[in-house]
C-alpha cells in the first residue's frame, strides 16, 4: 500500500476521534445548537490555513496527506454541517439554521484567512 494512503488513514482516525471529543464536549455546553460541528469546522479551517502556509514556506509536503487530508479531513465535518442545518430547519428553526449556515461559512473562511496570515507571518 502507498505510504500516503497509510498517512491519510492514520490522520483520519486521529482527526475523527478529536472531532468526536469536541462534539461530546460541545453537546454538554449547547445541546440544542450544533456547536460541536461549528467549532470543528472553524478550528479545522484555521489550522488548515496555518499548516498550508507552513508547508508552503518550510516544506513538509510529505506530511500533507497525514495532516491536511487525513487529520483535518477527519476533523472537519461538512456532511455533519449539512445534516445539522436540515435538522434545525425541520424543527422550524429556520432563522437559527440560516444563522448557523452564515456563521459556519463566513467564520470558517475568515479562520482559513487568519491561519494563512499567521502562518505566512511566521516566515516573513
C-alpha 7/C-alpha 26 separation (Å) is 28
Show the DSSP H helices in 30-93 as ranges. 35-58, 64, 73-75, 78-90
Question: Can you tell me which residue has the cell 445539522?
Answer: 84
> Which pLDDT value is given to residue 10?
97
Look-up of cell digits 496527506: 65
Q: Which domain does 38 fall in, by range? A: 3-121
What is the mean pLDDT of the segment spanning 73-92? 92
For residues 69-86, give the mean pLDDT.
92
Instruction: Point out the least confidently predicted range of 30-39, 42-51, 77-86, 97-106.
Output: 77-86
User: Taking the model in full, what pTM does it have?
Assistant: 0.83
Report the domain count for the chain. Answer: 1
State residue 123's pLDDT score.
83
The arithmetic mean of pLDDT across residues 91-98, rounded, is 97
Amino acid at each position: 500500500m502507498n505510504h500516503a494512503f497509510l498517512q491519510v488513514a492514520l490522520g483520519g482516525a486521529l482527526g475523527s476521534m478529536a472531532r468526536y471529543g469536541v462534539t461530546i464536549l460541545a453537546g454538554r455546553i449547547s445541546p440544542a445548537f450544533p456547536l460541536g460541528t461549528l467549532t470543528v469546522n472553524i478550528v479545522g479551517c484555521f489550522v488548515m490555513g496555518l499548516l498550508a502556509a507552513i508547508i508552503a514556506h518550510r516544506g513538509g509536503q510529505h506530511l500533507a496527506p497525514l495532516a491536511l487530508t487525513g487529520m483535518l479531513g477527519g476533523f472537519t465535518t461538512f456532511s455533519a454541517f449539512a445534516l445539522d442545518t436540515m435538522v434545525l430547519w425541520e424543527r422550524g428553526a429556520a432563522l437559527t439554521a440560516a444563522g448557523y449556515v452564515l456563521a459556519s461559512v463566513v467564520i470558517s473562511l475568515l479562520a482559513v484567512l487568519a491561519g494563512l496570515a499567521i502562518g505566512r507571518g511566521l516566515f516573513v
